[in-house]
Amino acid sequence: MSAPSKLVTEHAALCEQIAAHDEAYYQRDAPTISDAEYDALLRRLFDIEAAHPELASETSPTQRVAGAPLGQLESVAHRKPMLSLANTYSREEVVDWFDSTRDFLAADDAALAFRIEPKLDGVAIELVYEHGRFVRAITRGDGKVGDDVTHNARTIRGVPRTLHTESPPALLEVRGEVVMRHASFATVNARREAAGEPLFVNPRNLASGTLKLLDPREAARRPLDFLGYGLGVTDGFEAEGHTQAMEQLEAWGLPTTAEWGLTGDLEAVLAHYDALLSGRDDLPFDVDGSVIKVNDHALQKRLGERSRSPRWAIAFKFPARSATSMLREIQVQVGRTGALTPRAVIEPVHVGGVTIEHVTLHNGDEIARLGVKPGDRVFVERAGDVIPKIVGLAEDGGGPPFVMPTACPVCATPVVDDEDEVVLRCPNRACPAVLQRRLEHFVSRNALDVDGLGTKVLALLVEQGLLTSLADLFALEAEQLAELPRMGEISARNAIEALQASRTRNFARFLFALGIRHVGQHVAEVIAGRWPDLAALRGVSTEDLEDVAEIGPTVAASLSAWLADDDEQRMVDRMFELGVAPQALAPPAEDDGAGVLAGLNVLFTGALQTLSRREAQELTKAHGGKLLSGVSKNLDLLVVGEKPGSKLKKAQELGIEVLEEAAFLERLGEAPR
């Protein structure tokens, strides 16, 4: 069936449009549409040609993509081995390399220039151009022999079909990195997620997987980029130095690494690294370090090569954010709500500046999604302050799949499956693990803040039967504590004193300390701001709770259930009998100017000497002030402790009022403490 004329017209228009965009992108480096829009055009062209193959002429832009699936990839030898780079994470080693390279070459008294480039975290590839025509793409492989991935490389926008020149060299081997942009990575993974397919762990894996696909039509749906950084064998082209070579590649339509520099100055080399490191998240693709190369080709030759890497270059790598490690074991921990949380124990690895040995796996569904089990090698990631996570399987260890336990690993009670959640729970309130976690939370800093009752002491007290509930804490006597191993009389007395002080913490902290599900610090403050004590709270209905802004149905239901729980209420009553008397929060200041801090934004900085941070913040709120987290022009008052640092400087620059702690207390009419 021949194509309707409307489609023929659309097809021709698309071919023209895409060719124009290609030209804008490759030759003028000035694309006028986004990658996504470009891909949509190309996809439409593919669809039309799929229905009407006769339209797919030689000149169609799809032909740089085309090709039927292959049976398997062919191995091809590189004419010249593709070496790797010596690398280091150490500034000192970079300095040593720099100095010794300069010393070695000083014989010539050469004006020595170093080219600095980002180290792209992708897949190394070699493109072969014969008489200006792209004929082959080969992965690095083992450096000597790689896979022929020509069919997929044709789908890469940065791989021109012909060099943009009238007089191309007879042979040009271009080496570079195939990378995937973060945005494309997200798109491809979103599509896979929607299709229920396993997700790619990172852009490098996706790029590598894509290059090795047998079907280039699938590869075309996963947009890759190519960036050149070197040459293999050439015939009819020589450049004086690396930068000159890269400039020529650009002129021929081959993109090369951006963000580069040329310098003889060590400080500039190190500054390039620092700038790349701090800006790495703003780059469109993953960069894992900087590469420092002697620019001049003749000098490169003099420096020569080791067996696997040249002496004229070094990679200065960023601290790794991702690594692989052996998953040794999956432990299941029981939390304070009885939730069973699996946690991976891995062979310790250094990622993002810290050593990681334990990684939470959240729940059984997450383990199934990741498809990991003991004995596997797994990918571990950690970026910035983010807690480490396992992001996928690196190598299957062949072990049996992991199954979540059907009974609590601590008290053996059969677990229950929370209907609306993916969590398994131990329903036994007397489970020693649940009690231990509840106690730890109860005494923690943001809860009742009881010093001297650490995890080990609590565990001993539970073990000896001295603690069977939270309330038992307040029945403890100094003599009982003093008998515990490594707990002298003084520590015992201190702990009892700390417990005494905790009896009158405010109602918000008390509520939070009880560990009621979904009642976090903020929600506890909201509730305590509305009801002064438990007696008042016991009289409210779920609806009353839901009427409070910031309290949703989940919190309301959970709190109601807790209030209706006889065991819990008996336990709290016993605390009251034992002298626990949570203090009502100060009534919130009215907006009509009540409270000396009404309408003022306050921030604390430096080490306060008499108040704890928390007390200072509570006082501020009690006097009608609002807390800010940073210095801005909205700030009205900065209260400084010792060693205030940069916030003070900034506040002074902005002309913001600054008070010392004592003066602040005086302003509030609070006695100095």
Please, what is the minimum distance in Å from the beta carbon of residue 313 to ligand IVH?
Answer: 5
**Smaller CB distance to ligand IVH: residue 229 or 474?**
229
Among 73, 85, 156, 513, indicate the residue that binds ligand IVH (CB under 6 A). 85
Q: Which stretch binds ligand IVH (CB under 6 A): 83-91, 205-213, 433-441, 559-567?
A: 83-91
**To 10 degrees, the CA torsion angle through 547, 553, 555, 560?**
80
* Rounded least distance, CB 224 to ligand IVH, Å: 14
Q: How far is CA 494 from the centre of its chain?
A: 41
User: Is 317 an interacting residue with respect to ligand IVH (CB under 6 A)?
Assistant: no
Q: Quick one: 313 or 665, whose CB is closer to ligand IVH?
A: 313
CA-CA distance, 51 to 54, in Å (whole number)? 9
Residue with smaller CB distance to ligand IVH, 185 or 664: 185
Using CB under 6 A, pick the residue from 57, 75, 84, 468 that binds ligand IVH.
Answer: 84
d(CA 392, CA 378): 6
CB nearer to ligand IVH: pick between 306 and 633: 306
Q: What is the closest distance, in whole angstroms, from the C-beta atom of residue 443 to ligand IVH in the complex?
A: 51
Work out how close the CB of 175 gets to ligand IVH at its nearest, in angstroms, rounded to a whole number.
Answer: 7
Q: Which is nearer to ligand IVH, 259 or 544 (CB)?
A: 259
Taking the least distance from each CB to ligand IVH, the nearer of 287 and 370 is 287
Q: Choose one: 3-11, 47-55, 81-89, 199-207; the region binding ligand IVH (CB under 6 A).
A: 81-89
3-state SS, residue 139: strand
Among residues 234, 261, 262, the alpha carbon closest in space to that of 248 is found at 234
- Give the number of residues written for the chain: 673
Beta-bridge partners for 407: 414
Q: Binding to ligand IVH (CB under 6 A): which residues in 173-202?
A: 177
402 Rama class: left (phi>0) / alpha (psi -120 to 50) / beta? beta
- The total of other beta-carbon atoms located within 10 Å of residue 258's CB is 11
> Least distance in Å: CB of 180 to ligand IVH?
14
Is the CB of 140 or the CB of 509 nearer to ligand IVH? 140
Nearest-angstrom CA–CA distance, 170 and 164: 14
Interacting span for ligand IVH (CB under 6 A) from 113-121, 416-424, 546-554, 663-671: 113-121
Minimum CB–partner distance for residue 258 and ligand IVH (Å): 11
Q: Which residues contact 525 (CB under 8 A, 6 or more apart)?
A: 508, 585
- Cα radius of gyration (the chain): 33
C-beta of residue 211 within 8 angstroms of C-beta of residue 123: yes
Contact call for residue 83 and ligand IVH (CB under 6 A):
yes
Whether 535 and 520 have beta carbons less than 8 Å apart is answered as: no
Q: Which stretch binds ligand IVH (CB under 6 A): 54-62, 66-74, 118-126, 498-506?
A: 118-126
Q: Toward ligand IVH, which CB reaches closer, 85 or 323?
A: 85
The set of residues, in sequence order, having a beta carbon less than 8 Å from that of 117 and lying 6+ positions away, is: 229, 257, 259, 260, 290, 291, 293
Q: Binding residues for ligand IVH, how many (CB under 6 A)?
A: 16
Instruction: Give whichever of 11 and 175 is closer to ligand IVH, judged by the CB atom.
Output: 175
Taking the complex as a whole, the smallest distance from the CB of residue 263 to ligand IVH amounts, in Å, to 16
Q: Identify the residue among 15, 65, 113, 120 touching ligand IVH (CB under 6 A).
A: 120
Per CB under 6 A, the segment of 234-242, 309-317, 468-476, 550-558 that binds ligand IVH is 309-317
Integer angstrom CA distances of residue 79 from 143, 209, 243, 244, 565: 10, 24, 23, 23, 77
β-strands 416-417, 424-425 pairing: antiparallel
| Set 80, 119, 317, 650: catalytic member | 119
Which amino acid is present at 571? M
Residue 291 within binding range of ligand IVH, rule CB under 6 A:
yes
Applying CB under 6 A, which of residues 124, 207, 434, 453 lies at the interface with ligand IVH? Answer: 124
Residues 212-241 that bind ligand IVH (CB under 6 A): 229-230
Contact by Cβ (8 Å): 511, 543 = no
Task: Identify whether the C-beta of residue 504 lies closer than 8 Å to the C-beta of residue 584.
Answer: no
Contact 175, 126 (CB under 8 A): yes
Told to check if 313 binds ligand IVH by CB under 6 A, we report: yes
Give the nearer residue to ligand IVH in terms of CB position, either 70 or 277: 277
Interface with ligand IVH, residue 285, by CB under 6 A:
no
Output the smallest distance, CB 628 to ligand IVH, in A.
43
Q: Which residue in the set 22, 39, 49, 117 belongs to the binding site for ligand IVH (CB under 6 A)?
A: 117
Burial 185-198 (b: 16+ CB within 10 A, else e): bebbbeeeeeeeee
Contact range with ligand IVH by CB under 6 A, out of 80-88, 160-168, 203-211, 438-446? 80-88
Q: How far is the CB of 64 from ligand IVH (least distance, A)?
A: 24
How much of the chain is in helix, strand and coil states, percent to nearest 5? 40, 20, 40
Q: Any residues with CB less than 8 A from the CB of 382 and at least 6 apart, and which?
A: 321, 322, 351, 352, 354, 356, 388, 389
Smallest gap from Cβ 214 to ligand IVH, in A, equals: 23
Distance spanning both ends of the chain, measured CA to CA: 92
Helix (H, G, I), strand (E, B) or coil at 426: coil
| Contact in structure between 399 and 374 (CB atoms under 8 Å) | yes
User: Measured from the CB atom, is 291 or 563 closer to ligand IVH?
Assistant: 291
Nearer to ligand IVH, 67 or 289 (CB): 289
* Known catalytic membership, residue 119: yes
Q: CB of residue 260 vs ligand IVH: minimum separation in angstroms? A: 8
Is residue 177 within a helix (H) or strand (E), and if so which, with residue range?
strand 171-179
Of the pair 85, 511, the CB lying nearest ligand IVH is at 85
Question: For the chain, what is the total number of helices (H) and then of strands (E)?
Answer: 24, 22
Total Cβ atoms within 10 A of residue 381 = 20
Contact range with ligand IVH by CB under 6 A, out of 116-124, 215-223, 405-413, 481-489: 116-124
Yes or no: say if 450 and 441 are a contact pair by the CB < 8 Å rule: no
363 interacts with ligand IVH by CB under 6 A: no
Which residue number is nearest to ligand IVH in terms of Cβ? Answer: 124
Residues 256-275 within binding reach of ligand IVH (CB under 6 A): 257
We find the least distance from the C-beta atom of residue 172 to ligand IVH, in angstroms, to be: 16
Residue ranges in 560-599 that form contacts with ligand IVH under rule CB under 6 A? none
Nearest one of 448, 460, 594 to 512, comparing CA atoms: 448
Cβ neighbour number for residue 657 with a 10 Å cutoff: 12
Pairing of strands 145-147, 171-179: unpaired
Asked whether position 49 contacts ligand IVH by CB under 6 A, the answer is no
Binding status of residue 138 toward ligand IVH by CB under 6 A? no
Asked whether position 315 contacts ligand IVH by CB under 6 A, the answer is yes
- Which one among 21, 78, 119, 154 touches ligand IVH, defined by CB under 6 A? 119
List the structure tokens of 548.
């409070």
Structure tokens at 614: 């928390």
Catalytic residues: 119
**Footprint of ligand IVH (CB under 6 A):** 83-85, 117, 119-120, 124, 140, 177, 229-230, 257, 291, 310, 313, 315
